[in-house]
Amino acid sequence: MLRRTPVLLLLATLTVGCLIAAAYGVKADEPAERDTTPQLGKDWRQLRDSMDAAYEALQADAGVKPNPIVDDNVFVRRIYLDLTGAPPSIAEINEFAPGRRDANGLKGQEKREALVDKLLATPEFAEHMATWWRVVLAERQGDGIYQTYLQRYLSEAFTANKPWNQMAHEMLAAKGKTPDNPALGFLLTFENDKPAMAGQVSKVFLGRQIQCAECHDHPYEAWSMDDFESYAAFFRLFSTGAKGEGADRYWFSNDQAIKNDIDVRNRLRLKGKYKLPRFLGDKDWQYDAGKTIRESLADWITNPENPWFREMTVNRYLDYFMGVGFVNPVDDFNSMNEPTLPIVMEVMGKDFAASGFDTRYLIRAIVTSKMYQRAVDPNRTNRQDRVYYSRNFVRALTPEMVERSILKVIGIDRLNPHLPVPNVADDKLSADEKKAKQVRDWISGYKGNLRMLIRNAWGGDPVVKDVDDHDGNILQALMFMNADLLPGHLNNSLKEILAQYPHPKDKIKRATAIFMTVLGREPDTRDKQILNSTFANWKGGDEVFEDLFIALMNTTEFVNRH
């Protein structure tokens, strides 16, 4: 284990001193008009630079040599995978111009920050974040229609860059009908299982796993069965239902109307020592006219003054982008699993809250940092580092990212455009509409089959994986080897590349374009040597390029982020 001493904590504290001063309201001695103390939540670069400086000081004191910053080729693939869930296309790589100035004349850190800004504004970012959070919130289970509503809500919210506390509140306190309020999708996934609802909400939003206290007092934490009962009571007067059939079917929420504290006590009839709902580790709920008890819980969870909520969110994003967070596993804060550097986590949490819970603000601070941009291959001094962020980590793509990557790499949607098809009998369709319907059905069939294959191959994967768990399994390998990933009846990226470079002299260009399409980066010196030696004098037919395409999809690099 790498050492952590009071000296290291002091170093980190001094390094982030300006932000800590702002966090605790410490003011400089100068007059107010000359006060240069930074304000929390106003400058993500200040947050980033403070984090980098803190960890560089810790690394130096611990004798840990940090890894170098990755080159543009590694960075562009890493950031596209992390922010959009799929590797960059050839056009996107060329636009970024690895190792050169981009079209706007930017290079180095400025160029990377510009790319981050661009990606954060894309529909692909919003959809990927929505997919990631949907799995975190509801896991990979439940009725598909509930997940569809939840995905729709999250996608719209991330597109609009809604504050995270607002998003959490809207999901926890959702009312009405699904056609009008898709945020109901989150609570619908529990199918009125109130204990499961309570346990998941505590774990996901607060990082406190209290599920076992439903049946017995927690073995090593202070949570008792009474605590669980009084906390789960916030969901007891709430239920969901459905009406209608077929396309007209919808789901709705129902909260029992309450009059006062006594009314709630009589309705709940709690058996433990608490007779009213109770916020975890805090105090009893109090009647608030016009609010359901569920809305009161949402108010308490998402309050900017709630350290559990803001620190849990910071920890989750740090874990996603860096491979490890302040607390690991990411959603299990407890007395035996304390944060590695609590003062930095606390300041980051307060800064995030002060930004208005702006997730893009937080993401910018993390992914433009030196910490994030470091190479993954360990050196002799940092091989065991899980504390000082002296290197990044290889991370296995989630099954959702694998699916998104395959669809983008094959180019199914991009290369098979089709007109909208009226919902009428086939004999009333024009020739163009019939062709569009056929293409639409082919695309739908391809996507449906791919999703089934991935579900079967990755079905056992946990929602949150350990940073060192990036090996595949036999089912996943067999899927890539045997699945028809390059359908002949649809246009695909390989057909496009072969058509773009039709002449025999273009063999190396074809191979290079395939490499960039599949792996999302330019080939390095060693890659070029292999491609040249293999294809420069190739006398065979085009089937070898399909072999290359599929072979690259079978590499560990394709299903991992470096």
Could you tell me what percent of the chain has a pLDDT over 70?
Answer: 93
> Does position 15 have pLDDT exceeding 80, yes or no?
no
> Does position 459 have pLDDT exceeding 80, yes or no?
yes
**Average pLDDT of the residues in 11-40:** 54
Per-residue confidence (pLDDT) for residue 20, from 0 to 100 = 54
Question: What residues have CB less than 8 Å from 322, skipping those under 6 apart?
Answer: 366, 371, 372, 389, 392, 393
**Average pLDDT of the residues in 170-194:** 96
**Cα(36)–Cα(32) distance, rounded to whole angstroms?**
9
Instruction: Please tell me whether residue 373 adopts helix, strand or coil conformation.
Output: helix
The string of pLDDT tens digits covering residues 470-482 is 778 899 999 999 9
pLDDT-derived band at 539, boundaries 50, 70, 90:
confident
Radius of gyration (C-alpha) of the chain in whole angstroms: 26
**Cα(422)–Cα(420) distance, rounded to whole angstroms?**
7
Q: What is the pTM of this model?
A: 0.93
The string of pLDDT tens digits covering residues 506-529 is 999 999 999 999 999 999 999 999
> Does position 397 have pLDDT exceeding 70, yes or no?
yes
Per-residue confidence (pLDDT) for residue 538, from 0 to 100 = 76
Phi and psi based region of residue 176 (left: phi greater than 0; alpha: psi -120 to 50; beta: remaining): left
- Reply yes or no: is the peptide bond before residue 504 cis, omega within 30 of 0: no
Nearest to 514 by CA among 397, 404, 411: 411
**Cα(93)–Cα(513) distance, rounded to whole angstroms?**
11
Instruction: Please tell me whether residue 181 adopts helix, strand or coil conformation.
Output: coil
- The rounded mean pLDDT for the chain is 90
In DSSP terms, 284 is beta-bridged to 278
Report the run of H or E that residue 59 belongs to, with start and end: helix 44-62
Per-residue confidence (pLDDT) for residue 535, from 0 to 100 = 83
The string of pLDDT tens digits covering residues 484-510 is 999 989 999 999 999 999 987 899 999
**Residue 82, CB half-sphere, CA atoms under 13 Å: how many?**
28
Question: How many CB atoms neighbour CB 446 within 10 A?
Answer: 21
